[in-house]
Amino acid sequence: MSDVSRRTFLGTTLAMTTLQAADYRIVDSHVHTWKHDPEFPFAPGANVPARDAAPETLLGLMTANGVAKTVIIQVIHYRYDNRFLAHVLKQYPGTFQGVCRVDPLDPAAPDTLSQLTEQGFRGVRISPGNGASGDWLTGPLMPPLWKRCSELKVPMTVLAAIGRMPQVAQLMEKLPDLTLVIDHMADCPVSQPRELEKLIALKRFPNVFVKITHTWSLSRQPYPWLDAQELVKRLYDAYGPRRLMWGTDWPILEAVAEYEQALTVVRDDMKFLNADDKSWILSKSVERVWPFGG
């Protein structure tokens, strides 16, 4: 057996043993997938890597690491054309859930979201930029879209810088029943730890969840990214484990880290988490927002 085959075998065996011992299934809250396929063209001007991020590759990584289910976030390469992700969801029913994108500058976005929800999507992601081009977050088109999410009982997922969290709070004030998920700890820089208070302030809304992803991206240190873990610890103290969730952000993380490290950093190397905490962060918190059943 080659060294690579031996490592794969051992990794798979360890992952499955850990999963069985923990008595819960691991659910990844955040990945992307795409494929160079003329049937599903990328958006004009999209900067798409030459490689594919095929669902089959993802399934192999999931199996090797004992990950049972995964939430796929519509990748920006397709912008608001969700057909490829819809195709993947139909290919692998029960394994994946999908979060769509809609055009935040389109007044018809709420109706588009309703249609996509009928097609099987669960939730929508918006990603306002840092500069003036992202100021639509405070514009007149956002309240109707957020309200529609609340009415449909699907989550609103926000990728935005930490400085926009007060604007997010303003939108939540009128929608206390809306489920909101903040991606990647709002990418709070480890060099500006006080800024995290803007995200912590959202804890007053009981249906706000935070993905403790991007430790590998935010850190200035090698694995296990202890400086970024300090941000996670503060979020854990504020929100508790039942409103935090892990995720890999595959394949984006591969520029810096390996898929398995996004799991082991939480499962094995966040020493402030106990076994029950991990059962929520690695599994039950994700399924509170994206229930798979079965």
DSSP letter string, 100-117 = EE--TT-TTHHHHHHHHH
**Distance between CA 69 and CA 89 in Å, rounded?**
12
User: Burial of 67 by CB count in 10 Å (0-12 exposed, 13-18 middle, 19+ buried)?
Assistant: buried
Work out the angle at residue 81's Cα, subtended by the Cα atoms of residues 148 and 26, and round it to the nearest 5 degrees. 75
Nearest 5°: phi and psi at 210? -130, 130
**Distance between CA 243 and CA 29 in Å, rounded?**
12
**Distance between CA 134 and CA 110 in Å, rounded?**
19
At residue 214, the pLDDT reads 97
At residue 129, the pLDDT reads 94
CA 155 vs. chain centroid, Å, equals 12
CA 119 vs. chain centroid, Å, equals 20
**Which CATH fold would you assign to the domain 3-289?**
TIM Barrel (3.20.20)
At residue 54, the pLDDT reads 98
Return per-residue pLDDT of the chain as tens, 294 residues. Answer: 444 344 444 454 454 444 445 689 999 999 999 999 999 999 999 999 999 999 999 999 999 999 999 999 999 999 999 999 999 999 999 999 999 999 999 999 999 999 999 999 999 999 999 999 999 999 999 999 999 999 999 999 999 999 999 999 999 999 989 999 999 999 999 999 999 999 999 999 999 999 999 999 999 999 999 999 999 999 999 999 999 999 999 999 999 999 999 999 999 999 999 999 999 999 999 999 999 987
CA 180 vs. chain centroid, Å, equals 12
**Distance between CA 153 and CA 155 in Å, rounded?**
7
At residue 294, the pLDDT reads 74
Nearest 5°: phi and psi at 176? -65, -20
- Residue spans per domain, the chain: 3-289
At residue 73, the pLDDT reads 98
Q: Read off the pTM.
A: 0.92
